[in-house]
Amino acid sequence: MKRFVVILFKATGLLLLLGIIMTALVQTPKGKEWIAGVLSRAASRSDEMDIRIGRIHGWIPVDMRIERIECRDAQGPWLVMEDVRGQWRISRLLKGSIHISELGAAEIQWMRFPQVSMKPPQAERRKAEWRGAPLVVDGWSVDRLLLGEDLVGSPLQYSIRSGGMLLSEGHVSGDISIRGDAVGDVHFESVQNASARPEVVLHAELKEMRNPSFGMDHISGALKATVSENEIDAWIEADLADEDLRGHFSTHLTYGDGRLQLENSVFESDLYTASGDIGMTFA
């Protein structure tokens, strides 16, 4: 018995030593280069998607910074992230949670949607759900988010700050603050509806539009929406504060089965009042 205990202690010590050595090796420049290559290959799909992870700095995996991440397809890069950073509070694993104290990027350029091949429909697959330890993010931010012309029609620039995010047992919630060409705040929360289908509930407040390219730089408003896989149900209110015209607009927007409807739409101003319903069908 005594000999077994001695062997057990030696084996445990050897495993700990091996873990320390491996952790130390991945902190070297060559080790970080190897980790970047492994992550790039694991995230890429050679047939239609290529993820390239640049040089890694910091202490893996607790406090890291990645110089550049590129998402590419056959036409080149469609999403580029610069100076991606993250800090992980590893001690919180002892409490059964994954706790990230900081997550962010100096710049994200989203130029266009990726070009993916159209494949024939496959048998219904089981949807992925987060069933692991709770994931807590104290705060995440993007100093500059650039949306390309091919993506939104006119180049836009934003900065994003989040007050935090929680992901637990398939439930996600959080708050986002947006600045730049638009100023506003968003609260989001996932729920399960009566038929057990996942939905996301959004509460958004638009405080100011700052990009005159859209002709909407005097508009503020609010939105409450429930979004599921194939349906949208939203209540929208907007205020126009132009020098020549001031007014209030409200409507109930629904979308499902290829049909968009604006019900109980009302615009009231000092000059006139208009109301009605609008419906459009998409083939």
Prediction pTM value: 0.69
Residue type, 205: E
Distance of CA 88 to the CA centre of its chain: 18
Q: What is the pLDDT along the chain (283 residues), one digit of tens a residue?
A: 556 555 665 566 666 666 566 666 666 777 778 777 877 887 776 666 788 888 888 877 778 888 999 988 888 898 999 999 988 877 777 777 778 888 899 999 999 888 766 455 454 444 545 456 778 888 889 999 998 888 877 788 889 888 778 877 667 888 889 888 888 999 988 866 555 567 889 999 988 887 766 666 778 899 999 988 788 999 999 998 877 778 999 999 999 888 999 999 999 988 889 999 989 887 6
Whether the bond between 61 and the residue before it is cis, its omega within 30 degrees of 0, is yes
**The residue to which tokens 């909407």 are assigned:** 216
- The one-character DSSP state at 230 is S
Q: How far apart are CA 189 and CA 171, in angstroms?
A: 8
SS3 call for 218: coil
Q: By C-alpha distance, which of 189, 232, 238 is closest to 209?
A: 238
Q: What is the DSSP string of 74-118?
A: TTEEEEEEEEEEEEE-GGGGGGT-EEEEEEEEEEEEE-S------
Q: Could you tell me if 250 and 265 are in contact, meaning their C-beta atoms sit under 8 angstroms apart?
A: yes
Termini Cα distance of the chain = 76
